[in-house]
Amino acid sequence: MKKILRISLLCFLVAGCASYLSQVENHFTYSFAPVEPLSPTMDFADGNISVKFDVLKTSVGFVLENLTDKPIKIIWDDASIVQYGEARKVMHTGVKYIDRSQHQPPTNIPSNARIEDALTPIDEVWYSSYYGWQTHPLFIDDDLGKPQFRTAALACKGQKLGVLLPVEIDGKVINYQFEFLITDVQEIPKTQPRQK
């Protein structure tokens, strides 16, 4: 009897997983190009800083180097990601999810030093009693087998993603603004479970 129950439970779990997997039909990846400032790469440099960006699944990563002969500061509380025309408050790497809405002290970067960090919109971070802390992707990455999600993902081509990064240099705050264009959305069909 126990063996039959175990087999029944296993069949139920496998069928449930197969049913879920069959709903996730397409995965999407996005290509970005900078439009502000205009550049052939995701890099920017002036006499004060150099910065290289990488748009990730749930955040915008960057490496920033201080090119001056004095320390500079990143003012996190005033930084934001601009998406669909809306400025969104962000948290950076190292901030606890539970503290994402609290004050984030500036980061000091010594002369000729660099930091690697990432900006995540705080409204995309949430807590699940079952899974713990989760972060929604910046853009739809799976359509879950739903045509409306696929349509929304493909419609992202031509949309812009902005970053506002305030940097204090020699006592003056410079609001560095960057804008990236989604130049392409690649649709990758997921392997479907075999039907028996």
Condensed to tens digits (0 to 9), the pLDDT of residues 121-171 reads 999 999 999 999 999 999 999 988 889 999 999 999 999 999 999 999 999
Rounded CA separation 8/13 (Å)? 9
Angle, CA 177 vertex, CA 68 and CA 172 arms, to 5°: 45
pLDDT given for residue 7 in this prediction: 39
pLDDT tens digits, 47-98: 999 999 999 999 999 999 999 999 999 999 999 999 989 999 999 999 999 9
Which residue type, as a one-letter code, is found at position 71? P
pLDDT grade for 40, boundaries at 50, 70 and 90: confident
Enumerate the β-bridge partners of residue 32: 182
CB-based burial label for 49 (10 Å; 0-12, 13-18, 19+): buried
Q: What's this model's pTM, rounded to 2 decimal places?
A: 0.80
pLDDT given for residue 5 in this prediction: 37
SS3 content of the chain, % helix, strand, coil (to 5): 20, 45, 35
pLDDT grade for 21, boundaries at 50, 70 and 90: very low
pLDDT given for residue 2 in this prediction: 40
